[in-house]
A and B are shown apart, each in its own frame.
Chain A
Amino acid sequence: MERIPILKMGDFLLVTIQVDMHDQMALALQDDLTERIVRTGARGVLIDISSLEIVDSFIGRMLGVIAGMSRVLDAETVVVGMQPSVAITLVELGLALTGVRTALNVEKGMKLLRAATGLADETNHAGERE
């Protein structure tokens, strides 16, 4: 099965969802992220969903689980880049994404992560791989 890649950037993990995910892929991402946070001691997770054309209740639940799980492991999660049409649809679907922090784009999301984790200057380590 195709898996969603997770990149490490300093103390943060970066995920860009670029495909129409089937449910098993979403579940695998949940597990992979948990394992990576524990293994790397990452303090933040940034999930870029700007390529996602829909967010349904299943993906919404996955984002909530990842946010909750990372919090328990002392890491913050920020979801960035939601398309306006997706946001409008989410509200009507009734999905509140409670407990999930969001930001308009990657830059703002990184800023939020740095503020929330009290870590400055993460971008100095940009692109660093494990």
Chain B
Amino acid sequence: MPANESKELPLRTDDDIVRMRQAVRSIAIETGLSLVDQTKLVTAASELGRNTRIYGGGGSVKIEKVDNGIRRGVRLTFEDHGTGIPNVELALKDGYTTGGGLGLGLGGSKRLCNEFEIDSRPGEGTRVMIARWKP
């Protein structure tokens, strides 16, 4: 994928999540991220993609390869039109889950990335943007 281009993938099934992980991995490799950084990004993507599918009722992810002279890396934006998160601060806490999970997905993804932005509105949906930059 050429620099500064993006693609969008659906996140509706288990298979979509597997495909998304593979797409993120190959773009992370293209961008020159180290193996550890690739692994962190793909793991965060797996967490957020599953949240989009399960809590968001399905949605999509935009995968962007960023290379603008200042920064090189990968940016991912997860979007759904599900129930939204009433209390984002609480949802980010480790151990907080409404779905019988470990409650690590949101807080963990934040730790695994260089940038993390979440915008969620009850009744409208959720958008989470993460980025991992090449040092």
Smallest CB separation, B78 vs chain A (Å): 14
In the complex, whether B4 has a CB less than 8 A from a CB of chain A is no
User: Are B47 and A56 touching (Cβ within 8 A)?
Assistant: yes
User: Are B40 and A94 touching (Cβ within 8 A)?
Assistant: no
Interface of B is mostly: helix
User: Chain B residues near A58 (CB, 8 Å)?
Assistant: 46, 50, 101
| Contact count A vs B, C-beta below 8 Å | 70
In the complex, whether A119 has a CB less than 8 A from a CB of chain B is no
Give the contacting residue for A57; candidates B35, B42, B104; CB below 8 A: B104
How many Å lie between the Cα of A70 and that of B14 in the bound state?
26
Number of interface residues, chain B, beta carbon within 8 A: 26
Of B16-24, B62-70, B123-131, the one contacting chain A is B16-24
User: Chain A residues near B47 (CB, 8 Å)?
Assistant: 56-57, 93
Smallest CB separation, B48 vs chain A (Å): 10
User: Are A24 and B94 touching (Cβ within 8 A)?
Assistant: no
User: Are A22 and B111 touching (Cβ within 8 A)?
Assistant: no
Of A84-92, A109-117, A122-130, the one contacting chain B is A84-92
Interface size class on chain A is 20 to 34
User: Chain B residues near A83 (CB, 8 Å)?
Assistant: 39
Smallest CB separation, B52 vs chain A (Å): 13
User: Chain A residues near B14 (CB, 8 Å)?
Assistant: 22-24
User: Chain A residues near B39 (CB, 8 Å)?
Assistant: 53-54, 83, 85-86, 88-89
User: Chain B residues near A92 (CB, 8 Å)?
Assistant: 40, 108, 111-112
Top 9 closest A-B pairs, CB basis?
A22-B14, A93-B108, A85-B39, A56-B46, A57-B104, A85-B36, A54-B43, A89-B39, A57-B102
Which B positions have Cβ atoms within 8 angstroms of A? 14-15, 17-18, 21-22, 25, 35-36, 38-40, 42-43, 46-47, 50, 94, 101-102, 104-105, 107-108, 111-112
